[in-house]
């Protein structure tokens, strides 16, 4: 019988990697400073001691080189977990991801798979300034052939990462760095969470907040505050953005008749537009009693100054204002 333990998001990610590496010798981990230094956020603590330098591969500071090596090893039978130290660095190796990893299965008529997981810290809130604080999921989502996962809790992080490692496609696994210290209940048994299945984190009847990643926790806090006034907010955590659980989006819109979409990424051109279109392109549109509202980051580079940075992103006050607006 499994036992539930309270562990951090960081430890949940580590446990998923360790368990999958023990289970399958074709799984290995590579990236910058992931060995003795344990990664920029301490995720790979003690992994070098257990698996050695052959399976915990330290790389040079060349994302182009090691992302390409990951693609090459994946198509020849390995299952690499490749860590980008910050998601912003995807710009350095974008060609390897979108023109190689995402397209090989299609271009070789299904004879080649690229079972690779790209793990990378995403988002802001740490004072890391404009080149280390972005949420760039939309840039991956526009590329057919990539799966994109953004877990919000330790439980989801572990289950979704294990499923991603076992998947035969390239999965971009975005870990919002402000979540690493968050704690949650996680079973000690082996489990996976299927990609493409959203989760209602809070049931509600008056308005739906559709969100993912760090904004799930913020939205839940807003929902609890509004509950004191008798406003019943439902919070839908998408968990994976590709594949997208469109049925869950449509169902929550039909249920509450009002929708607020929240994401940490820049609002202009962000994934919120796709979520809104999913609703308006379905019969859920006829259930709406108010226009759909979006809450995202401002359309500007992320400031280093912590006060300005905080105002760039969605805040509880901004989310609450949007909820009240649709009500």
**pLDDT of 3 higher than 90:** no
Closest-CA residue to 192 (of 226, 151, 141, 231): 151
The 10 Å CB-count burial string (b at 16+, else e) for 40-54 is bbebbeebbeebeee
Give tens-digit pLDDT for 274-326.
999 999 999 999 999 999 999 999 999 999 999 999 999 999 999 999 999 99
User: Given the structure tokens 């995807």, which residue do they identify?
Assistant: 90
pTM: 0.96
Q: What is the per-residue pLDDT across 232-286, written as a single tens digit (0 to 9) for each? A: 999 999 999 999 999 999 999 999 999 999 999 999 999 999 999 999 999 999 9
pLDDT for residue 270: 96
Residue 132 bears catalytic tag = yes
Order of strands, sheet of 199-202, starting from the edge strand that comes earlier in the sequence: 199-202, 233-237, 207-211, 259-266, 293-297
Residue 28, pLDDT > 80, answer: yes
Alpha-carbon distance 33 to 41, whole Å?
Answer: 10
Helix (H) or strand (E) holding 33: none
Establish whether domains 4-187 and 199-326 are of one fold: yes
- The number of helix segments (H) and strand segments (E) in the chain equals 12, 14
The domain spans of the chain are 4-187, 199-326
pLDDT digits over 145-163, tens only? Answer: 999 999 999 999 999 999 9
Give the 3-state DSSP-derived string for 145-187, with helices as H, strands as E and coil as C: CEEEECCCCHHHHHHHHHHHHHCCCEEEEEEEHHHCCCEEEEE
Percent of the chain with pLDDT over 90: 97
The CA distance from 60 to 58, in Å, is: 7
Question: Would you say 290 and 258 are in contact if contact means Cβ atoms under 8 Å apart?
Answer: yes
Q: How many CA atoms lie within 13 A of 2 on its CB side?
A: 9
pLDDT tens digits, 207-237 = 999 999 999 999 999 999 999 999 999 999 9
Among 76, 132, 138, which Cα is nearest to 108's?
A: 76
**Largest Cα span, the chain:** 58
- Mean pLDDT score, 53-79: 96
pLDDT at 296: 98
Is the domain covering 4-187 a CATH 3.40.50.970 domain?
A: yes
Looking at residue 96, what is its pLDDT? Answer: 96
At residue 125, does pLDDT exceed 90?
A: no
Average per-residue pLDDT for the chain: 96
The predicted structure's pLDDT at residue 2? 72
Please tell me the predicted confidence (pLDDT) of residue 1: 59
Q: What is the CATH number of domain 199-326?
A: 3.40.50.920
**Pick the catalytic residue: 105, 132, 257, 263?**
132
- Sole residue written with tokens 């590579």: 30
């Amino acid at each position: 019988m499994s036992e539930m333990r309270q562990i951090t998001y960081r430890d949940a990610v580590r446990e998923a990697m360790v368990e999958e590496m023990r289970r399958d010798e074709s799984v290995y981990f590579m990236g910058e400073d992931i060995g003795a230094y344990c990664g920029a956020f301490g995720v790979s603590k003690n992994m070098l001691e257990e698996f050695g330098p052959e399976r915990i591969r330290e790389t040079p500071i060349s994302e182009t080189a090691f992302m390409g090596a990951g693609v090459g090893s994946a198509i020849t039978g390995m299952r690499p977990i490749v860590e980008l130290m910050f998601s912003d660095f995807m710009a350095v190796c974008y060609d390897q991801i979108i023109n190689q990893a995402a397209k090989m299965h299609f271009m070789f008529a299904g004879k080649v798979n690229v079972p690779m997981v790209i793990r990378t810290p995403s988002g802001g809130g740490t004072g890391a300034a404009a080149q280390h604080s972005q949420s760039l999921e939309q840039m991956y989502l526009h590329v057919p052939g990539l799966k994109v996962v953004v877990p919000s809790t330790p439980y989801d992080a572990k289950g979704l990462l294990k499923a991603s490692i076992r998947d035969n496609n390239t999965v971009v696994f975005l870990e919002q760095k402000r979540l690493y210290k968050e704690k949650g209940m996680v079973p000690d048994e082996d489990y996976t969470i299927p990609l493409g299945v959203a989760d209602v984190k809070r049931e509600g009847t008056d308005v739906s907040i559709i969100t993912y990643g760090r904004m799930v926790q913020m939205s839940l806090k807003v929902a609890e505050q509004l509950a004191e006034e008798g406003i019943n907010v439902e919070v839908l955590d998408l968990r994976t953005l590709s594949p997208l659980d469109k049925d869950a989006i449509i169902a929550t819109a039909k249920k509450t008749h009002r929708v607020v979409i929240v994401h940490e990424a820049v609002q202009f051109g962000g994934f919120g537009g796709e979520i809104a279109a999913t609703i308006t392109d379905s019969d859920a549109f006829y259930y709406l009693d108010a226009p759909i509202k979006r809450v995202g980051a401002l359309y500007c580079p992320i400031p280093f100054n912590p006060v300005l940075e905080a105002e760039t992103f969605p805040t509880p006050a901004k989310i609450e204002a949007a909820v009240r607006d649709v009500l």
